[in-house]
Amino acid sequence: MQQITPNNPVIRTMGRIDIDVPDRPVWVFPYTQATFRCTGTSVGVRLINRHNYGDSTLGAVIDGVPYRARITENDAETTVMLAEHLPDIEHEVVVYKRQDGEHYLEITGFLIDDQARVLPPAIPAPIRRIEVYGDSVSCGERNEAALYTGKADPDTDLSPYSNSWYSYATITARNLGASANIVAQGGASLLDGIGWFCGPDYVGMESIWDRIEYNPFLGETKPWDFSRYTPQVVVVALGQNDAHPVDFMAADYQGEQSVQWRARYVDFLRTLRGKYLQATIICATTVLQHDASWDQAIDDAVRVVSTGDRNNGIAPDPKVHHFLYSRNGSATPGHPRITEHQEMADELTTFIESLGPAIWD
């Protein structure tokens, strides 16, 4: 087979990608992807899987059909075949990262048949752009475990069932004809020191949001260059994992820790506004079961941002919204499955469309 370099100009990429070494890009976040057309009967990838935990898989959509391949080798260059015995015609290919920062992928090449041709995507790149800051739900974690729809997760490793393609966030983006950067990590809270990711020294979104690489078990962190992607719509889907190890918002809404969390959420929104001066920002949680006090906390924080603070010279920000799903916080005790992600995506799509076409200007 012939190997196509990842920085071949006909290949279109999406996501926060580490391109310090242009012909060996590193994919970190879920839904990071490469799109191209090719002829021939086979599609594969050469890569190095930098592995922290879980069972790593790689995804593809070829001619509209989903493919999944398990990555069996870690920390050494290996070949992952995504599809073979295809009809020898022209194919539309999207190769994407199914999972979050439980592993990084260093892409060294895309593989096609020896006599095949690689071509640019047939459809132009979207002009609409979305960015999502979230946790495992935004990643699509464990969403393929269909038999557990509406149920708690089983006590076993379900990482092979995590598929970012069917996250509510990415379905919403495709509904709207938008590209999407999914800045999400399973177990991530808003704040460092609580949540589930990288315990016992928990890492929250405040140490992830402005990075490309962020998992301390996989090396040094790297900053993200925000000039590379400017979304018109930003979704902040945080506030569920902050209840671990103590659900302080439910226990004492006016307590010091709760008041501080709401203030830090306000700070986070204002920091995002500093990066994206014109973006519409939508704050939400998900249908995953959690105490309603967290949604009240987000509502209070959004109200502070949207009304501003005249005494301190902070102007009102009318482009920040709080959105609640119809079954917000009450649908499932386990990770939402694909049908529940579709439900969320349909509602979020409708809400974004209700804001009018001007948000994409």
Whole-number Å distance between alpha carbons of 133 and 13: 19
Indicate the angle between helix axes 338-354 and 168-175, nearest 10 degrees. Answer: 50
Read off the pLDDT band of 202 (50, 70, 90). Answer: very high
Q: What pLDDT sits at residue 155?
A: 92
Judge if pTM exceeds 0.85: yes
pLDDT tens column, 96-147: 999 999 999 999 999 999 999 999 999 999 999 999 999 999 999 999 999 9
pLDDT at 318 over 90: yes
Q: What pLDDT sits at residue 310?
A: 83
Whole-number Å distance between alpha carbons of 189 and 93: 34
Pick the closest to residue 168 from 323, 58, 313, 354 (CA basis).
Answer: 323
Indicate the angle between helix axes 293-307 and 256-275, nearest 10 degrees. Answer: 50
Measured from the Cβ of residue 301, the count of other Cβ atoms closer than 10 Å reads 24
Q: What pLDDT sits at residue 312?
A: 83
Average the pLDDT over 309-327 and give the result. Answer: 93
Pick the closest to residue 175 from 348, 339, 349, 342 (CA basis).
Answer: 349
Residue with tokens 């799109």: 35
Whole-number Å distance between alpha carbons of 56 and 50: 10
Residues paired with 99 in a beta bridge: none
Whole-number Å distance between alpha carbons of 150 and 24: 41
pLDDT tens column, 145-156: 999 999 999 999
pLDDT at 299 over 90: yes
CB within 8 Å of 279: residues ≥ 6 apart: 230, 231, 232, 233, 234, 272, 273, 319
Pick the closest to residue 297 from 309, 287, 311, 284 (CA basis).
Answer: 284
Determine if residue 282 is left, alpha or beta; phi over 0 gives left, psi from -120 to 50 gives alpha, anything else beta.
Answer: beta
Whole-number Å distance between alpha carbons of 20 and 31: 20
Average pLDDT, the chain: 97
Read off the pLDDT band of 309 (50, 70, 90). Answer: confident
pLDDT at 313 over 90: no
Read off the pLDDT band of 311 (50, 70, 90). Answer: confident
Average the pLDDT over 235-253 and give the result. Answer: 98
Q: What percent of the chain has pLDDT over 90?
A: 98
Whole-number Å distance between alpha carbons of 56 and 72: 8
**Ordered DSSP codes for 292-327:** THHHHHHHHHHHHHHH-BGGGTBPP-TTEEE---TT
Residue with tokens 């920062």: 101
CA 206 to chain centre: 15
Whether the CB-CB separation of 38 and 90 falls below 8 Å is answered with yes
Q: What pLDDT sits at residue 11?
A: 98
Q: What percent of the chain has pLDDT over 70?
A: 100
User: In the chain, how many H helices and how many E strands?
Assistant: 6, 19
Q: What is the DSSP letter of 242?
A: G
**Ordered DSSP codes for 274-298:** HH-SS-EEEEE--SB---THHHHHH
User: What is the spatial order of strands in the sheet that 128-134 belongs to?
Assistant: 178-184, 128-134, 233-237, 280-284, 320-322
pLDDT tens column, 64-96: 999 999 999 999 999 999 999 999 999 999 999
Whether the CB-CB separation of 341 and 182 falls below 8 Å is answered with no
